């Protein structure tokens, strides 16, 4: 099946006025990511930003003992590498591809020039940063106060919002690493969702059978994040 590579499938790029998009269009480089690819490491220098099209990227915080937990997920609604335009150059988290697909790469010089210009790109990037901060803080609350079942529902729904289908390719071990919980906890939670006919799971493939059922079972954290993202980042802001 052929996949469209139109960069305007990314909502931020689609929201740029024509003149602003044309200024960066020739600098956008198409890249293909596999599941597990690392875009940047914790503490490492960031040399480019990525605008996902079909790929989904997880931002993970790492612990000294090797553990990790997902703090945010980014798909075609946003951009990966905000430390560059926020002036940090490095970040304390790792960016890992959660769902294989394509994205567009833009060098650090170009994104910095566009941000410094102070036009529509800066406005969009700042709005996305606010939306991402909301997701990070809500994820922290969810991980502390809600059950693994609810966390898994939230994670599935956030992933679905960034995919063109209702199927995810992801092992329970990887989900456990994302959520920062034991694999046994994910196995039990996934089993409950499958018994309730909300998902079907087989050999690393998760198919969401009843999205409305997942939303009903989920905690309020998903709705908080989605509402804020929809408010700040409409599908298309400019023609």
Confidence (pLDDT) at 235 = 60
Closest C-alpha among 54, 159, 46 to residue 93: 46
1 CB burial (10 A radius; 0-12, 13-18, 19+): exposed
Which two tokens mark 145? 């106060």
Residue 120 located in a structural domain:
no
Which CATH number does the domain housing residue 58 bear? Answer: 2.60.120.10
At residue 166, φ and ψ (nearest 5 deg) are -100, 20
In a domain, 231, yes or no: no
CB 127 within 8 A of CB 231: no
Instruction: Tell me how far apart the alpha carbons of residues 67 and 64 are, in angstroms, rounded to a whole number.
Output: 7
For residue range 9-60, list pLDDT tens digits in order. 999 999 999 999 999 999 999 999 999 999 999 888 899 999 999 999 999 9
Q: pLDDT class for 113, splitting at 50, 70, 90? A: very high
Banded pLDDT at 175 (limits 50, 70, 90): confident
Q: Is position 165 within any domain?
A: yes
pLDDT digits (tens, 9 = 90+) for 65-96: 777 788 899 999 999 999 888 887 788 889 99
In a domain, 89, yes or no: yes
Nearest-angstrom CA–CA distance, 159 and 91: 23
107 and 167: one domain? no
For 111, the 3-state DSSP assignment is helix
Structure tokens at 156: 């599935």
d(CA 82, CA 111): 10
Q: Is 2's pLDDT higher than 60?
A: no
Provide the CATH number for the domain around residue 153: 1.10.10.10
State pTM to two decimals.
0.90
The average confidence (pLDDT) of the chain is: 89
Q: Tell me: do 75 and 152 sit in the same domain.
A: no
- Please report how many Cα atoms fall inside a 13 Å half-sphere around the Cα of residue 221, on the Cβ side: 28
Same-domain check for residues 152 and 206: yes
Q: Assess if residue 131 is contained within a domain.
A: no
Same domain? For 101 and 162 the reply is: no
Chosen domain end from 95, 113, 131: 113
**121 found inside a domain:** no
Going by C-alpha positions, the residue among 71, 67, 133, 79 that lies closest to residue 104 is 79
Q: Give yes or no for a contact between 206 and 152, defined as CB atoms under 8 angstroms apart.
A: no
Residue 211 counted as domain residue: yes
Please give the residue range of the domain that contains residue 156. Answer: 144-225
The domain tally of the chain equals 2
């Amino acid at each position: 099946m052929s996949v469209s590579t139109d960069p305007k499938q990314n909502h931020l790029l689609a929201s740029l006025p024509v003149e602003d998009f044309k200024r960066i269009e020739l600098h956008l480089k198409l890249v293909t990511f596999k599941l597990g690819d690392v875009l940047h490491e914790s503490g490492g220098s960031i040399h480019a930003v990525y605008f996902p099209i079909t790929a989904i990227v997880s931002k993970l915080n790492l612990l000294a003992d090797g553990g990790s937990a997902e703090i945010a997920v980014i798909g075609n609604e946003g951009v990966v590498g905000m430390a560059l335009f926020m002036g940090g150059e490095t970040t304390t988290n790792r960016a890992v591809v959660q769902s294989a697909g394509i994205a567009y790469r833009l060098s650090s010089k170009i994104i910095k020039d566009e941000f410094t210009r102070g036009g529509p790109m800066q406005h969009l990037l700042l709005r996305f940063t606010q939306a991402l901060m909301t997701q990070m803080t809500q994820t922290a609350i969810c991980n502390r106060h809600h059950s693994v079942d609810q966390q898994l529902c939230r994670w599935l729904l956030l992933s679905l919002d960034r995919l063109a289908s209702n199927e995810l390719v992801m092992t329970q071990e990887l989900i456990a690493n994302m959520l920062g919980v034991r694999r046994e906890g994910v196995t039990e939670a996934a089993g409950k969702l499958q018994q309730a006919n909300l998902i079907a799971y087989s050999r690393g493939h998760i198919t969401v059978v009843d999205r409305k059922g997942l939303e009903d079972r989920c905690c309020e954290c998903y709705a908080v994040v989605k509402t804020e993202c929809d408010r700040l980042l409409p599908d298309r802001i400019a023609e």
